[in-house]
Structure 1
Amino acid sequence: MNRKLDITPDVEEAARKSVDALFHLHNEMGPGLLESVYASCLEEEFKHRGIRHAREAAIPLNYRSRRLDVGFRADFIVADKVLLELKAVDALLPVHQAQTITYLKLTGLQLGLLVNLNVSLIKDGIRRLFRECFQTRFVILSGAKDPRQRRPYRERTHGFFTLFRMTGNGYLLGLKTLPNPALT
């Protein structure tokens, strides 16, 4: 079943302006710098273009009806519409995508741009992530009721896992972020 994502024009416009600023920044600076340098330069580019943004925006976590400030910070939130997560790495890993998806869920924003600036062509370093395209559920990664039968947890190379906890009965639980079947 295919379903079209409803991204509003103002979100698309904020994303377009962000990508334009990223293209200009990357043409000027090129690959090979630290993420903090790119973030400072991008902030200057946003100011020069008059784009409303928040840098290092705190993302609170609501747990049991309480707001917890646990240190989650988005690199940029552009026009209160688009989350922008910058990286300067050799290759984007599944954990980077999982981080951006988590931030989208916590902020309630529809669209996130995960950007690796350490690439020769910036178009190869931009990933658009939509909150609606992913779902998170608890999964049992390994374990057995009898401790003698427990197999050690081995990191998997597919999917996005975040270790959650070892339960009292020996099950290793985690969060697995999967494509939303309603959108595939």
Structure 2
Amino acid sequence: MSKKPEIDEITGQVVDAAIKLHTRLGPGLLESVYELVLAPELERRSLMVERQKAVSFEFEGLRFDDAFRVDLLVEGCVVVELKSVEVLARVHSKQILTYLRLMDLPVGLLINFGAATMKEGLQRVVNNYRPSQFASTRLPISGRQPVNDKRSGS
């Protein structure tokens, strides 16, 4: 049985493959083209890749099936969001961080193939809030713990 690769090893392979694609294909193609080419490149590197992975989550007792899709889920633990825009906006990194939190995953890569260089177009996003690391009670999705109302006189 083969050992599952470590997260740093996985992200390193994804970054290396993205650099290869960006060098060979250049910037400016549609995001879907880069996804189409990147997924089999990662599979050739013996990584398990799920494209357009539908994700469900629960909020306040309600289940939302197929609420959103991540571009690539690599080895079941690294979210890869692809963009092909001139400049990444802050909302792009917030989007992937929200995905990581809702999926309770540690790390994701935001890759912008529209950038002039891959160095400019790459962001590693780390989820520092992992509810499963705590006791059996999960914190609210907002990441805020309930505040006791001190005005109640207790």
Relative to the length of structure 2, the TM-score reads: 0.77
Contact 2:57–2:67 (CA under 8 A) maintained in structure 1: no
Runs of 4+ in 1 over 6 A off after TM superposition: none
State the partner residue of 1:125.
121
Q: Aligned pair 1:48/2:37, yes or no? A: no
State the partner residue of 2:11.
15
Q: Which residue, 71, 93, 101 being the options, matches 2:67?
A: 71
State the partner residue of 1:82.
78
Tell me how far apart the structure 2 counterparts of residues 64 and 71 of structure 1 sit (CA, whole Å).
15
Tell me how far apart the structure 2 counterparts of residues 90 and 11 of structure 1 sit (CA, whole Å).
28
Matches within 5 A, 1:1-184: 10-132=6-128, 136=142
State the partner residue of 1:5.
none
State the partner residue of 1:170.
none
Cα distance per residue 1:121-174 (max 9 Å; x no partner): 111111011110799468xxxxxxxxxxxxxxxxxxxxxxxxxxxxxxxxxxxx
Q: Cα RMSD (Å) of the superposition?
A: 2.1
State the SS of the aligned residue for 2:123.
strand
State the SS of the aligned residue for 1:89.
coil
Contact 2:129–2:143 (CA under 8 A) maintained in structure 1: no
Percent of aligned positions that are identical: 37
Q: Any stretches of 5+ residues in structure 1 without a counterpart?
A: 1-8, 139-184
Letter in 2 for 1:112: G
* Structure 1 residue 49: Cα displacement: 2.1
Relative to the length of structure 1, the TM-score reads: 0.65
Matched residue count: 130
Tell me how far apart the structure 2 counterparts of residues 117 and 126 of structure 1 sit (CA, whole Å).
9
Q: Which has the larger radius of gyration?
A: 1
Letter in 2 for 1:58: A
Contact 1:33–1:88 (CA under 8 A) maintained in structure 2: yes
Q: Any stretches of 5+ residues in structure 2 without a counterpart?
A: 131-140, 145-154
State the partner residue of 1:142.
none
* Structure 1 residue 120: Cα displacement: 1.7
Contact 1:82–1:110 (CA under 8 A) maintained in structure 2: yes
